[in-house]
Amino acid sequence: MRRIILNKLRVQASVGILPHELTAKQPLLISCEVQMQDAPLLPAKDQVDHVLDYRRIRQLAIDEVQTAHTNMLESLAGHICEKILALPGVSAATVRVDKPNIFPDCDGVGVEVSAEKV
């Protein structure tokens, strides 16, 4: 099995339900863990076309954030997770979306979703 981990991608997103969140973008951190159950220990060749290019995962998350306003972190995480699961060779995915510094007394709030292909 192989895992690809994208850790705390920094994006500006139109997300939330409060009045100020509807008019201004805010920072989010997006992390993804992609599992490829049937991937061999070593790729057939030491070339990017023999693996799932992690740039695709990064771009997929960026594209989803830029698509439109999203009310809930749960929805954003779920949409990203669905798109990752559609990639070839992916057997499971976990996506975490964090809003840093949303409250003065904590580092942030996050939502995490996980899914497997059936």
* Domain harbouring 81, CATH code: 3.30.1130.10
Q: Is 29 exposed, middle or buried (0-12, 13-18, 19+ CB in 10 A)?
A: middle
* Domain total in the chain: 1
Q: Report mean pLDDT in 10-residue bins for the chain, 118 residues.
A: 97 96 96 96 92 97 97 98 97 98 94 95
What local confidence, expressed as pLDDT, does residue 14 receive?
Answer: 97
Strands 92-100 and 26-36: antiparallel
Q: Residue 45 belongs to what domain range?
A: 2-116
Structure tokens at 57: 């995962």
What is the distance between the alpha carbons of residues 102 and 58, in angstroms, rounded to a whole number?
24
